[in-house]
Structure 1
Amino acid sequence: MNIKKLIPCLALFLLFNTTDAQINGFEKKIDSIIQTEFGNHDEPGGVFMITKNGKNIYRKAFGKANLELNVNLTPDYVFQIGSMTKQFTAIAILMLEQQGKLNVSDPVSRYIKDYPDGDHITIHHLLTHTSGIKDFTKMKSLSSIAQKEMKPEEMVNFFKSEPVDFAPGEKFDYNNSGYVVLGYIIELVSGTSYEEFIKKNIFDKAGMSHSYYASDRKVIPQRAYGYHKKEQGFVNKTAISFSVPFSSGSLMSTVDDMLKWQQTLNQNILLNSKETQKAFQKYKLNNGEEFTYGYGWHLKDISGTPDREHGGSIFGFKSMGVYIPGEDIYVVGFSNCDCHSPTEVTRNIAKAALKEFKTSAKRPQK
């Protein structure tokens, strides 16, 4: 036996086994983070995915997609994503700006003539939650329309005459109404419905074939069913008309499609780099104070490393996505019960992934 010939093979064997051990250790670490919130596999659960440089590092499902039929979730299931919808609305606005059909500095009154104080509220204010208009989700009368089929104009009319909370640009205050107005402007400017605009100009171009404008009536393959948790146990989610959250929260997607979305943004497929950057920069209030929101994304950090993130919550569902541009790490988590929040779980996964990949980069190559 030639020992010298065996040494390179042995080194290679040890390298691969060390790598496997590292991967298995990382996977177990992520499993444990998720199971703090999604540990009961007999309940509604969630789907989580981690990617690095566009490649899947971790992709798992926990719990049930349907309690009545005792169907387990898989990573392919379709979830309602709630306010992560705002990313798509913001990019749609920037697409129309790039086409020369509007400008983010335009006053709302240019498109909705009779909007109160519409000469001073701009599209930029709507995008950044600095408009001061009343958030319709905080209105007591919301229950009166929650299950009605509302036209975008009717939704805008529902809240537009409410007293404003502050003057435009005075403060940042997260606001769903602003994104409903943006959806209506998209329809007015494009001459097509918001649903059709998003499908044709974003979903189709990005190859997001399992993403939809939400519906409880359409047959949607591999739809995850949504639940609430009450004292007596789980119940099916409250039915609403998706024309109410509209462009502020009515889209559905899968974790795989959300990766396609992220890659489409990275590759400037929908927008040029200059226009794309408008979504990912911080802006200032009237007094010069900077706030941590761009157009459709919170701009924060994970362990001191800048990230872009946004969550969503709608009856029966919660969602969260974190992207770390400096490392090209994307983490997304969906839940089909609003009793389980993926927000901190997803951020903690992103923190662990960031640590893992930074540590891996520092390891000497064998």
Structure 2
Amino acid sequence: MQKLFLLCFTVLLSITSNAQHLDQKIDSLIKNEFKEANGPGGVFLIAQKGKPVYKKAFGMANLELDAKLNTNSIFQIGSMTKQFTAIAILILEEQGKLKVSDPISKYIPSYPNGNNITIHNLLIHTSGIKDFTKMKALSDIAQKEMTPEQMVDFFKNETVDFAPGEKFDYNNSGYVVLGDIIELASGGSYEDFIQKNIFDKAGMGHSYYASDRKIIKNRAFGYHKKSSGYVNKTIINFSVPFSSGSLMSTLDDMLAWQNALNKNLLLSSKEETKAFTKYKLNNGQEIEYGYGWHLKNINGIATREHGGSIFGFKSMAVYIPSKDIYVVGFSNCDCNSPTQLVKDIAKLAVENLKNK
């Protein structure tokens, strides 16, 4: 009995020591990027098998009020919104309200060349339509309240970059069109559809369609860094990025999102698999993008990942299916990108959590 007790104690001590060692390594990585304790910062989470094994906050949530970030702080997640838009499309497909093979002209008859651009093309960034974020006229509408139809009209008549399916070119316009289609197919607003069919079902009680007007408790404020110091983020009307980049969330809610996907709480396994499939161009070349996720690898181990960037904020998440490891990081200054940092943390997690 005494030998068994000693063995158990030794194993427990080893596990505790390894966990502390991993924490120290990650802390060091993060502090090397987020060097100013009194500047904007970031929050980070590592989960294994659906449970957090590391969760910390660094830096300030509001410089004017001297308020620190905490692990429940709410961030704008930018283009990580595309994951939710893509899954919303698949939910509608499972409900029989659309098919990803449908041409967009079925929903938006006036769209130029809409008979040849499919929902599938929009999802995997092979539509060839002009990305509105690259248009000089964007500044004219950036602070205006736009309907989805007005946003689509803003870019739909621009010269296309290539024929549908010819190239992969990351494209925000495509995901705005998807948001418009979600509203047309569902008969309600994009915001309400995401709330009812994803946030509520996944238990994401602190996730929102972004607003600078609403009182959102525990909101992290966004910043830019200039030569003179930090300044408040540039204002944009969230109806402009819309379904390509206008959601807000927390570390715990993003873990709830990942867990909901893993447990098929939102979609059947068959339908959800479409999001995590690598697709091909017209010439047969495979691309590393599914529906709303980059499908890449870390040291040969397959990953599902996506980042986001919107005025004052950056975000990144990596999921490693074979290890059931999820890593997510948010920053409230677009001067600090968590993209490579989250990938480096994911590598450490794979190396240090593999025997757990």
For these two proteins, the number of residue pairs brought into alignment is 356
Distance 2:277 2:270 in 1: 11
**Mapped partners of 2:8, 2:40: distance in 1:** 43
Q: Secondary structure at the match of 1:348?
A: helix
Q: TM-score, normalised by structure 2?
A: 0.99
Structure 1 counterpart SS, 2:304: strand
Mapped pair 1:114 → 2:110: yes
* 1:261 maps to 2:254: no
SS at match of 1:34: helix
Larger Rg: 1
Equivalent residue number for residue 212 of structure 2: 216
How far did 1:39 drift?
2.6
Aligned-partner Cα distance in 2 for 1:8–1:215 = 57
* Cross-structure match for 1:312: 308
Q: Note the alpha carbon deviations across 1:112-165, whole angstroms, 9 max, x for none.
A: 001000000000000000000000000000000000000000000000000000
Equivalents in 2 of 1:260, 1:318: separation in Å? 20
Match of 1:60 in 2: 56
Structure 2 CA distance for aligned equivalents of residues 291 and 10 of structure 1: 53
Q: 2:341 aligns with which of 322, 342, 345?
A: 345
Q: 2:287 aligns with which of 262, 275, 291?
A: 291
- The 8 Å contact of residues 280 and 287 in structure 2, kept in 1 or not, is answered as yes
Q: Which runs of 4+ in 1 moved over 4 A?
A: none
Q: Which runs of 5+ in 1 are unaligned?
A: 362-366
For 1:364, the equivalent position in structure 2 comes to: none
- In structure 1, the residue matched to 2:175 is 179
Cross-structure match for 1:148: 144
Give SS of 1:58's match: strand
Q: CA offset at residue 34 of structure 1?
A: 1.1
Give 1:335's aligned residue.
Answer: 331
Alpha-carbon RMSD:
0.9
1-structure distance, mates of 2:168, 2:11: 51
Structure-2 separation of matches of 1:6 and 1:132: 70
Partner of 1:163: 159
Q: CA deviation at 1:284?
A: 0.3
Q: 2:192 is matched with which residue?
A: 196
How much has 1:38 moved relative to structure 2?
1.2
User: What's the CA shift for 1:10?
Assistant: 3.4
Match of 1:121, SS state, is coil
Q: CA deviation at 1:64?
A: 0.2
Percent identity for Structure 1 against Structure 2: 68
Aligned equivalents of 2:319, 2:342: Cα separation in 1: 10
The answer on 1:231 being equivalent to 2:221 is no
Larger mean CA deviation between 235-244 and 29-38 belongs to: 29-38
- Alpha-carbon distance between aligned partners in 2 of 1:182 and 1:323, rounded to the nearest angstrom: 24
Q: What's the CA shift string for 1:79-128, capped at 9, x where partnerless? A: 00000000000000000000111000000100000100000000000000
| Residue 303 (structure 1) aligned with residue 299 (structure 2) | yes
* Distance in 2 between residues matched to 1:245 and 1:175, nearest whole Å: 12
CA contact (8 A) 2:76 2:249 kept: yes
2:82 to 86, 91, 104: 86
How far did residue 54 of structure 1 move? 0.5
Instruction: Read off the aligned partner of 1:187 and give its amino acid letter.
Output: E
TM-superposition CA deviations, 1:330-364 (whole Å, max 9, x none): 00000000000000000000010011122x35xxx
- Does residue 1:48 correspond to 2:44, yes or no? yes
1 CA distance for matches of 2:353 and 2:15?
13
Counterpart in the other structure of 2:236: 240
How far off its partner does 1:11 sit?
Answer: 3.4
Instruction: Return the alpha-carbon distance in structure 1 between the equivalents of residues 266 and 2 of structure 2.
Output: 53
Counterpart code for 2:308: G
Specify the SS of the correspondent of 2:10: helix
Aligned residue in 2 for 1:125? 121
1:205, 1:23 → 2: CA distance? 32
Q: Which position in structure 2 is the counterpart of 1:36?
A: 32
Match of 2:352 in 1: 356
Q: Which residue of 1 aligns with 2:23?
A: 27
- Distance apart, 1:7 and its partner CA: 4.1
The one of 74, 98, 107 equivalent to 2:70 is 74
Q: 1:16 Cα shift? A: 2.3
- Provide the C-alpha distance between the structure 2 equivalents of 1:289 and 1:10, rounded to a whole number of angstroms: 57
Structure 2, unpaired ranges of 5+: none
For residues 152 and 17 of structure 1, the distance between their equivalents in structure 2, rounded to whole angstroms, comes to 56
Instruction: For 2:123 and 2:14, locate their aligned partners in 1 and report how far apart those are by CA, in whole Å.
Output: 48
Q: Tell me, what secondary structure is at the counterpart of 2:137?
A: helix
User: Shift in Å at residue 9 of structure 1?
Assistant: 3.6
Name the SS for the 2:180 alignment partner: helix
Which sits farther off after the overlay, 89-98 or 12-21? Answer: 12-21
Q: Distance in 1 between matches of 2:14 and 2:276?
A: 38
Measured against aligned partners, the alpha-carbon deviations of 1:151-202 in whole angstroms (never above 9, x if no partner) come to 0000000000000000000000000000000000000010101011101111
Would the aligned equivalents of 2:18 and 2:352 in 1 still touch at CA under 8 Å? no
**What secondary structure is seen at the aligned counterpart in 2 of 1:51?**
strand
Aligned residue number for residue 131 of structure 2: 135
